[in-house]
Amino acid sequence: MKRFRTFFLATGSALFLGCAGIGPTTFLHETFDFGFVETVAVIPFENLSSDQGAGYRATRFFVTELLAAEAFDVVEPGEVARALEKQGLVRVAELTEAQAVAIGKEVGAQALVLGTIGESATIRSGTSSVNVVTLVVRMVETEQGVTVWSTSHTEGGRGFWATLLGLGNRSQGEVTRRCVEKTVRTLIQ
């Protein structure tokens, strides 16, 4: 009986840990005063995945999460697009320090948020499938163009109970929203 209980606990723990995933990896600039940041501009996220709507979807979810957190004012996306166009920028994920400073002044933001969708896919294994999103986001202050926060996170589409009980999969939108939510939490705690 004792062996059975030990086996059950070990198996349950392994199953739980395997389904739980790994949390975000985060960098915070140790001397930067985040109280200085009142307004942020979210630059449209770059999409490296084959999911054509992933960058747009993640950008919109990110703006919504920031607004819901009420930690910063957020520059309207149209104003950000106008400033990027004025600077003649095509590859926004690779801004120079000078470009970050110029965009910040143009839109009146103390920080820019830049992101990349590394993966947005449905992974199939046998008869089951899981939606997965990997997001890398950073905040660049606009006084000197220095990165003050950066995080990466991967979120899968099935939770512990769904996996254990064979229940349905989360949609790509829900997985993206959860990934963004956990990413924002690393900035606003």
Mean predicted lDDT score pLDDT of the chain: 84
Domains of the chain with CATH codes = 22-185 (3.40.50.10610)
Instruction: Output the CA–CA distances (angstroms, integers) from residue 166 to 7, 9, 128, 160, in the order listed.
Output: 22, 20, 9, 10
Answer yes or no: are the C-beta atoms of 80 and 43 closer than 8 Å: yes
Instruction: Output the CA–CA distances (angstroms, integers) from residue 28 to 139, 140, 167, in the order listed.
Output: 10, 11, 37
Answer yes or no: are the C-beta atoms of 176 and 64 closer than 8 Å: no
Structure tokens at 50: 């084959």
Answer yes or no: are the C-beta atoms of 148 and 139 closer than 8 Å: yes
Q: What is the pLDDT of residues 114-154, one digit of tens each?
A: 999 999 888 887 777 888 999 999 999 999 999 999 999 99
Tell whether the model's pLDDT for residue 48 goes beyond 90. yes
Half-sphere exposure of 78 (CA within 13 A, CB side): 0
pLDDT at 18: 42
Tell whether the model's pLDDT for residue 8 goes beyond 50. no
pLDDT at 11: 42
Give the percent of the chain with pLDDT over 70. Answer: 83
Answer yes or no: are the C-beta atoms of 34 and 83 closer than 8 Å: no
* Four-point Cα dihedral 102, 105, 109, 115, nearest 10: -10
User: Does residue 165 or residue 133 have the better pLDDT?
Assistant: 133
Cα–Cα distance measured from residue 4 to residue 100, given in angstroms and rounded to the nearest whole number? 60
